[in-house]
Structure 1
């Protein structure tokens, strides 16, 4: 039944799209660029996503055959590749490649807008003097002005524009197009040239169309990324959650098995956490857990995985670490927790000692499977707590 409902909804959406097209392009029932985008991205979503594009196409000057051909190629090239891609890095790579190869612009940049900091961040560039990650206030530069005004700009001579911030040595002209989605500014596409007056309305026409497709793809990728993050993240600490921990251990163990390398699973428990909750309340308890999580994160290697296993129990997956190396890391963590200045929810010193207990098990000596490693690390943690807490215990080798 739902299949028929969906099919009917998409059919209605297609009819609506054709009605809109006849209003925008009365001389033809369906514009080729729109049909390409529709085919690549799907009916109902395309109708909504194409409304800004249709408006920009209607407002833009009539293109030459060459510009029309290039625009259609760009729409096809980007829309087909982006339609099934929900990874933001891949989306940005595709857009950068389109600017460089489809349109052969020598100097191009993609900047994304960070609303919290009100900054533009350079995320992709070709032949730019600024490094990736370069950021500046959205109140500055031609790109910032373009973002704020929500209007594309062509600067024939940047030397006459006081807002210009150099991105290319000896730059003389520039074109900036905002990337907009539902009235929200997502970023800017910026093209520069060492020649004066290098850009015309055909370039503007092409880049405006490309920016509309970019906006839809970037927005979808971000939404997907946020959904994935929520599904794998613990809400209080911001660490990976239990579900991710199990998946990660399974995947990393398979990698270690194929590569013939060790892997250590570390179980970490915050000692006497119940007494902290009972004395200071659960709000301060949650604050202590967050601080504890930061201590663990800061004490492991890049590439290790710190997860909240449940309650006051955490686990750390250390790919490539044998028992000796993992023990060194664990002992550093114990010291870091013991000496950390924990505070209550008001920022005042907690005034009570905070310590941790750690149990670890290493593949292959302490277990061959995910279940064996988890059981071995749990047993080691139990020993650490039973023998007085604030200490590390390593599982005994299988068969010993």
Structure 2
């Protein structure tokens, strides 16, 4: 309580005696200062001490329950006397006062008189009630009055305009204000209301409800809640995108998040592939005309990608570039995803996108762009780490991971596993006589030929300059030997067709089971390879213990 430091005797005295008091204000331009407080026309030290806690005009206005005390005082200083009514709980319980603000010399005086005292002193209920009605008729708040002797309900002008019903309604006194909604011409308005009883000699004769329009405030609160929810969802999506391992996951998260955050009619996600934009995701409401790929230089999407900035179309029909799939589409938003693609959202309403929609969509697009960039960068790092950039074969780093997985699978399921080592015959002569660029061509050409023969599950690894390993999961020695012959045949056939004179030698071994490892397999395949070389090249040799002799 603001007066908790006062002695109980003083507080009791104030509670009991505050039937009539005056507040005196000094006005200097727009500066309003409380300079005195009086009871029965005389300054009172207890009262002054009490009101000093509320010397700030804003706090005093709130404490007295007056909508805009400053404006009333300024009006009175310009000799515009104002009658007012208020209800305040500052004296310990709800008490209703009639007041009058008027200029008094160089100051403004507001005289407050408790209504019950006013009624008791006059003894003329009808006259005073009529006077009260006159005051509240043009009050700046909605006022509803219900006579306790009947079900009649009286509304002032603002209450009528607000849409309050004239039908009988429950109007019990309340200790606290409450929020109620009123339907008026299809629009919902919100009011903060407070109900008190007006009494005459302890006999209730009317209930009065004061209602302040807080529709704008409630609207702002609702919009703020909606915005906060959207931001929260955006944050959640950003976390999910940061964990995505594939672009397909990113596409799904993007479109689903758009539906939850932006709440429009149509969403489309198109990704650049070569010279085209390819439709990766689109909402089910879009008519299917079979167009899943189109030039990245055409239409609204092409322009968005080329300009690298968000394009807003309040009315699609006025854009020559737009080719909407439905005549129901009225406005559109097109946002670039860096150089990766374009995100578009469409509404069936004209000018449907406000600044907040654009900002949220751009933030979402930025998170998606970052996720795609991260995944592609990681893929490129993986490719450079685990793959040979010249031939596309796995590198030595890739061999360790691949071989460990295949040996573990062979042990678990008791399946065969074979290994080839392949070497280009006389590769040094090719480099020295035809140049290193031609030598690089030969290496790529050999790997390409090998991949024409082996299965998708088989792996080619560049082991050295012109040496390659081929891991053959599930293939026994006989199958590996057969595949080796097919590789030699393919190279011979392509050499004749393409006039490329190149041969290879191949050494073959198999996994010997528990206790064996990739190093042992490579050692044995190398021995077999050298045996093939010693026998004249352009041939294969299966490892035997005598192969190295």
Give the structure-1-normalised TM-score.
Answer: 0.68
RMSD: 3.5
Question: CA 1:260 to 1:280, structure 2 compared with 1: closer, same or farther past 3 Å?
Answer: same
Q: Which residue of 1 aligns with 2:401?
A: 247
Q: Which residue of 1 aligns with 2:234?
A: 75
What's the CA shift string for 1:14-39, capped at 9, x where partnerless?
A: xxxxxxxxxxxxxxxxxxxxxxxxxx
Higher relative contact order (CA 8 A, sep 6+): 1
The yes-or-no answer on 1:230 pairing with 2:384 is yes
Q: Which residue of 2 aligns with 1:315?
A: 469
**Of residues 497, 516, 531 in structure 2, which corresponds to 1:383?**
531
What's the CA shift string for 1:263-289, capped at 9, x where partnerless?
A: 322211111212212221222212211
The yes-or-no answer on 1:362 pairing with 2:472 is no
Q: Which residue of 1 aligns with 2:304?
A: 146
Superposed, 1:83-232 pairs within 5 Å as: 83-84=242-243, 87-100=246-259, 107-114=266-273, 117-127=274-284, 129=288, 134-155=292-313, 161-164=319-322, 172=329, 174-180=332-338, 185-192=339-346, 195=348, 197=350, 199-201=352-354, 202-232=356-386
Larger fraction in helix: 1
Cα offset for 1:135?
3.6
SS at match of 1:310: coil
Cα offset for 1:124?
4.1
2:470 and 2:254 map into 1 onto residues whose CA distance is: 37
2:471 and 2:290 map into 1 onto residues whose CA distance is: 33
Cα offset for 1:392?
2.5
What's the CA shift string for 1:132-154, capped at 9, x where partnerless?
A: 9x543211132212212323335
Cα offset for 1:164?
4.2
Moved more, 265-274 or 354-363: 354-363
1:196 and 1:248 map into 2 onto residues whose CA distance is: 55
Q: Point out where structure 1 has 5 or more consecutive residues left out of the alignment.
A: 1-62
What's the CA shift string for 1:28-74, capped at 9, x where partnerless?
A: xxxxxxxxxxxxxxxxxxxxxxxxxxxxxxxxxxx943652343133
Cα offset for 1:308?
0.9
1:366 and 1:356 map into 2 onto residues whose CA distance is: 31
Superposed, 1:290-301 pairs within 5 Å as: 290-301=444-455
Moved more, 277-286 or 304-313: 277-286
| 8 Å Cα contact 1:358/1:380 also seen in 2 | yes
Superposed, 1:57-72 pairs within 5 Å as: 64-65=223-224, 67-72=226-231
Question: CA 1:358 to 1:106, structure 2 compared with 1: closer, same or farther past 3 Å?
Answer: farther
| 8 Å Cα contact 2:431/2:439 also seen in 1 | yes
Question: CA 1:170 to 1:330, structure 2 compared with 1: closer, same or farther past 3 Å?
Answer: farther
Cα offset for 1:375?
2.4
What's the CA shift string for 1:179-205, capped at 9, x where partnerless?
A: 23xxxx332113356x45595325433
Question: CA 1:366 to 1:69, structure 2 compared with 1: closer, same or farther past 3 Å?
Answer: closer
1:158 and 1:124 map into 2 onto residues whose CA distance is: 21
Q: How many residues in Structure 1 have an aligned counterpart in Structure 2?
A: 320
| 8 Å Cα contact 1:100/1:126 also seen in 2 | no
| 8 Å Cα contact 1:237/1:293 also seen in 2 | yes
Q: Point out where structure 2 has 5 or more consecutive residues left out of the alignment.
A: 1-221
The yes-or-no answer on 1:285 pairing with 2:433 is no
Question: CA 1:260 to 1:135, structure 2 compared with 1: closer, same or farther past 3 Å?
Answer: farther
| 8 Å Cα contact 2:234/2:261 also seen in 1 | no
Cα offset for 1:305?
1.7
Larger fraction in strand: 2
What's the CA shift string for 1:230-272, capped at 9, x where partnerless?
A: 1222233232212212321112222332233333222111112
Rg (Cα) greater in structure: 2
Question: CA 1:331 to 1:82, structure 2 compared with 1: closer, same or farther past 3 Å?
Answer: same
1:217 and 1:103 map into 2 onto residues whose CA distance is: 20
